[in-house]
Every structure is written in structure tokens, then in C-alpha cells.
Amino acid sequence: MISRDSILHRPKSNFAYGYDEETLHIRIRTKIGDVDKVTLRIGDPYIWTKGGADGGNLEASDGSGWSGVNVEMTKEVTTEYHDYWFASFKPSHKRSRYAFILESSEERLLVGERRMITLTKDNTWVLSDLSNFFCFPYLNKKDVHTIPDWVKDTVWYQIFPDRFENGDKSIDPKGVEPWGSRPKHHNFNGGDLQGIINRLDYLKDMGFNGIYLCPIFEARTNHRYDTVDYMTIDKGLGDKAKFKELVEKAHEKGIKIMLDAVFNHMGSESPIWLDVVKNNEKSKYSDWFHINKFPVYDKPYDELDGRYLNYETFGRVKSMPKVNTENPEVIEYFMEVGKYWIEEFNIDAWRIDVANEVDHHFWRRFRDEVKSVKEDVFLLGEVWHDAGAWLQGDQFDAVMNYPLTDAMKQYFCTRTINKSEFIHAVNQVKVSYSLQVTEHNFNLLDSHDTSRLLTTASQDIDRIKLSYFFMMTQLGSPCVYYGSEIPMTGKHGGGLEDHRKCMTFDHIGSDMHTFMTDIIKMRHEHEEFKLYDNKWLDHDSLLIFKKGDLHVVINPTQEKQTLELDKSYLSYFDKNQVKDSMTIPPMGYCLLK
């Protein structure tokens, strides 16, 4: 018997969505190994040979000859417990009713919206009982999640501005410390916008065509996530003229610019917050924040404990009071912020900090507002968990793909999961979202919020190389955290901020720099890397998958491995290119076409 309790399908979700204005994508989940074949039975609910539902009555008793067709579904991926099946369908009149026919050696099962029915020769009428069919009422163009095409071709470079390069010492913050001094929470090293401009050719030569900047607005800390003024460039970084120069020169070189939007919270030195501190409930901004009781500060600021505050914050950080994004005035304020930096400086994208703690209504409005100014602006949400609720086409274009990050680090760097677990994890990420989201998701291995990859890998250069190589072969938009091409070490946590060290440029031409340049070039040259499917091939030790006509072979072990091409893989490889076998060196990789 087919296991009913493992079957899952949800209309209007990652299981059923419009891929474009003509095409539906449909998925269903079954228990792993439980089903041999799945057929999608689908058609227009109003088209019958005789009588029926032509007037909209889906239970019409005089109907016969429903127009539904059977579409064989392909097994999309397998995860730890489930198989996922997929079909693409173009409804002739945008409308669809559908059900699924599941087949095993023991039974045929019709899966509908209201019930599951074992199919027999005596109940074939249920194949046209549309009252039990799932419904995709109409494929509206407006509902299709449309994402800027340029993103899938972008390789990003993330910059923590204070630590990248000091290009203008005349604007150094007061008390700036020597370049290369150990990073702390509040010290400054003087990195600025001019320093980034100085290195645009360096980034272009490596193949990067997108820059993601951590916050650049006026703030009091080196990380600048404690915004003081959203309409002003922090004077330690430069000014608006310098930022405009950066954007224009980057665009001339084919490089996109993404800014960091911190709308979940403000800095405690923002004039808006200070007005609340001074005037409490009498402040005109008293409803701009989540305040539990007044006075806001019930003791001197230095004595405040983040665990016991009269106001909500980001985490337990007393210097970051949480903003009330349900307040109409707050909404209008941030709508203007979002549009201003697009209108005045032509930025290409917003990365949205702590995106999951802000209400969905706010993000729906934000999307409409900024897209009205620049249709192809990219909206990237910071969500560390399953982000399906934000990726229905009405909020973010994509998210930072941390579930994939974790899988790559655990398999290649820490070796805490095996190959089977890794493959299942990668597959699960893919079916969590629509195809268009997966095509544009922001893939990363480390960031300003994590330990450096080399530290995670216990200083093993070969392991981080395999991690980056694999990431570059995957669908999505990859990002490299500044300094990874050196590569840098640095632990995050326990009061340490070594993951935000100062950048140096004496590594140009080094082994790691050359490696990173080569794999980015490889990424741009091989369109196969942007294909959805990883067709995983069996091997005891090697990780092998096929993308289009390209075969990716990775050896994550400390021993050389032999691939016997005269056995399992002969049909996959070009006999004229390789003979009976080939040797993959320890921690090595190759591409075969």
C-alpha cells in the first residue's frame, strides 16, 4: 500500500506556482521509494465534450468527456525521507483543475484535494470528478514571481567597508587604529568608499560583477548596523558625491551595487530614538518603537541590562531599539529611504537585514514602492531558515541561502555529515522554493555574521577550495566574503570579531587568489552551472554529478580515488576523452564534458 501520511501537495506554494505567465510548475511529495510512477491529471474545468461545467457548475451531472490530460511527472529529487515529483504544464486558458495518480506494484491511487481514492476498473469516473481536484483558478501574470534576470549571472563580493581599504586618510574616524590591528566591536580602522573605488579593477579582474556593501549610513559602530541617519553616508566612509562616484564607476565596469537596509531597528543615538528617550510618551516618535513601559530608560544607559529593558531590541542589544514597522509614519519614512538611494544614486539591490522579524505587510508595500522606481532592483532578504513565506512573489526576490551554506560547510569543512546526508540536504533546499527563486538565491559560505570558512575548516585550504568549487557549480547567485581569496582566518563568537579583519592586497597572484579567479571564470563560462538538476551518480568515495553535458567530479577524501569508466560510468563519459579509468587526486576535482 502507498503510504498516505507521507503524501503532500499545497496549491499556491512551492508545490504549485506560475513559473511564467504561461507555465505552471506542479510538485507532489511521496514517501521515499514508495511510488514507481506519478501522473498529473490536469485540464480546464470548463471544457467538456458534452454538457458539464461550462457554466461553472463543477458538479454538473450531465457532463461527459472532460478535457483533462495525463502528464507523466519526473522524479525531481530524493531527500532523507521523501521523493519529490515534478511536472510543467501550460494551461490553454490559464485555468486548471488537477489531481495526481500514484502507482506502485500494489495499487493505483488518486490523490485529490479532499480525499485519496484507490483506483479500480469500477470507479474510473473519479478521474473526472473535479469537485475532488486541486484548483489553480487562474494563472495571473501579476501573481508570477518575477526576478531580475541579471542576478543569476552575478558573482557577488561582500565588503565590510571599515576593513577593506583606507583610501582617504583625511576622513578617518577619531581614534582610528592602525591598519591590521585586531578588530573589536567599536574600534575603527578607516576603510572607506575611496578604498573600494581604488579596488574596482581588482574585483573586475577576478570576475566579480556585484558588490554587496555592509551598511554605509551614519552610525556609531564599525559595523554600522546601528543606524543614526538613513539619508546620510557615514562621514568616516565619505559623502554622497563619493558614493555616487563609486556607483557610476562600478557600473562602467559592469559591476552592480547592493546596499544593506537595516529597518528592523535603529541605533540608540538616532535623533528619533533620542527624542523618545528625552520625552518618553510625549515624544511624537513614541509609537515608532516597541516600548513596553515608560520611562524608556529606568536607569543610566551604561547600567542598562539587555535582558531587562523597557523596550524591544534586536536580540538583547540595548543600542538597537526595534522599530514599529506597523506605524503608518514609519512605513512612509522607510518607503522614502528605499526609493531615495535608487532614484538619486541608481543602486541595483537592497539586502534586507533581520528581514524575518519585520511584518509581511511592510515588505509587500516596500516591494511595490521600490519596484515602481526601478523595476529590476533586486530585493534580498536575510532569513536563515526556510523562507517560503517571504518568497511568494510579493515580498523578496530571494534570500541568503544559509541552509545550503550549512550543508556545504558540514560536508566539505567539518565532515560532520556524510555524502548521502549532504545530497539530501542540497536536494531539500531546491524543493523548498519555486524554480525562479532557486535560480536567484544568494549562495554563500561565510559572511560578516559567521566565522571565516578557513577557521571552520580547521585551516585546511583544500577543504575550502572544494567548498567554493562546489558552490560555483550550483544554481543561484554566489557570493564571496572579502578576504576569502587570501584566505583569511577568523572566529566569530565569544566576544571575538576576528572574522572582520583588515584586508590586505599582497596576496595577488598567490595560489588561493589564482584559484578563486579561475573558478569565477569557470562559473561565467559554463552555463551548465546555472542548470537546476544535479544528476547524482553513484560512487563509494567520490562526489559526482551531471549538469547538462558537464560532469563534476569531487574527491573529498585524503586518498587518491580511481574512477573506473569501463563499468558504471562508461555511458556518462566521452570514450574519446578518457579511456578505462582516471585518477582523482586527494581533495581534488575536475570537470568532464
Residue 188 lies in a domain: no
Q: Which of 143, 170, 198 is the last residue of a domain?
A: 143
Calpha distance 539→355 (Å, rounded): 40
- Read off the pLDDT of residues 9-18 as tens digits, 9 standing for 90 and up: 999 999 999 9
Higher-scoring residue by pLDDT: 565, 120: 120
Position of cell 515608560? 294
> Quick one: average pLDDT of 108-126?
95
> Which pLDDT score is estimated for 55?
44
- Read off the pLDDT of residues 251-307 as tens digits, 9 standing for 90 and up: 999 999 999 999 999 999 999 999 999 999 999 999 999 999 999 999 999 999 999
**In this model, does residue 226 exceed pLDDT 50?**
yes
**In this model, does residue 566 exceed pLDDT 80?**
no
> Quick one: average pLDDT of 451-478?
98
Query: Helices 461-472 and 511-525 sit at what angle, rounded to 10 degrees?
Result: 10
Q: Confidence band (pLDDT; 50, 70, 90) for 185?
A: confident
Half-sphere exposure of 316 (CA within 13 A, CB side): 5
**In this model, does residue 176 exceed pLDDT 80?**
yes
Share of the chain above pLDDT 70, in %: 95
Q: Confidence band (pLDDT; 50, 70, 90) for 549?
A: confident
- Catalytically active residues are 353, 382
**In this model, does residue 386 exceed pLDDT 50?**
yes
Give the chain's mean pLDDT: 94
Query: Helices 360-373 and 328-343 sit at what angle, rounded to 10 degrees?
Result: 30
Residue 371 lies in a domain: no
Q: Confidence band (pLDDT; 50, 70, 90) for 48?
A: confident
In 3D, which of 382, 260, 264, 280 has the Cα closest to residue 323? 264
**In this model, does residue 385 exceed pLDDT 50?**
yes
Half-sphere exposure of 397 (CA within 13 A, CB side): 27
Amino acid in position 321? P
Q: Which of 102, 125, 143 is the last residue of a domain?
A: 143
Contact 568, 551 (CB under 8 A): no
Partners of residue 56 on adjacent β-strands: none
- Read off the pLDDT of residues 390-409 as tens digits, 9 standing for 90 and up: 999 999 999 999 999 999 99
Contact 45, 97 (CB under 8 A): yes
Higher-scoring residue by pLDDT: 101, 63: 101
Calpha distance 487→471 (Å, rounded): 17
> Quick one: average pLDDT of 160-165?
98
Residue 408 lies in a domain: no
Residue 9 lies in a domain: yes
The enclosing domain of 572 has a CATH number of: 2.60.40
Residue 121 lies in a domain: yes
> Which pLDDT score is estimated for 565?
72
Q: Which of 324, 358, 393 is the last residue of a domain?
A: 324
The enclosing domain of 26 has a CATH number of: 2.60.40.10
> Which pLDDT score is estimated for 59?
54
**In this model, does residue 593 exceed pLDDT 90?**
no
Report the 3 state secondary structure along 247-311. HHHHHHCCCEEEEEECCCECCCCCHHHHHHHHHHHHCCCCCCECECCCCCCCCCHHHCCCCCCCE
> Which pLDDT score is estimated for 581?
78
Residue 221 lies in a domain: no
Residue 334 lies in a domain: no
> Which pLDDT score is estimated for 494?
77
> Quick one: average pLDDT of 189-208?
98
> Which pLDDT score is estimated for 564?
78
The enclosing domain of 280 has a CATH number of: 3.90.400.10
Q: Confidence band (pLDDT; 50, 70, 90) for 327?
A: very high
Partners of residue 69 on adjacent β-strands: 42
Calpha distance 464→241 (Å, rounded): 38
Which segment of 48-52, 184-188, 367-371 scores lowest on mean pLDDT? 48-52
For residue 568, the enclosing domain spans 535-592
Residue 440 lies in a domain: no
In 3D, which of 560, 536, 281 has the Cα closest to residue 423? 536
**In this model, does residue 29 exceed pLDDT 80?**
yes
**Counted domains in the chain:** 3
**In this model, does residue 242 exceed pLDDT 80?**
yes
Higher-scoring residue by pLDDT: 563, 440: 440
The alpha helices in 107-192, defined as continuous H runs, are none
- Read off the pLDDT of residues 410-428 as tens digits, 9 standing for 90 and up: 999 999 999 999 999 999 9
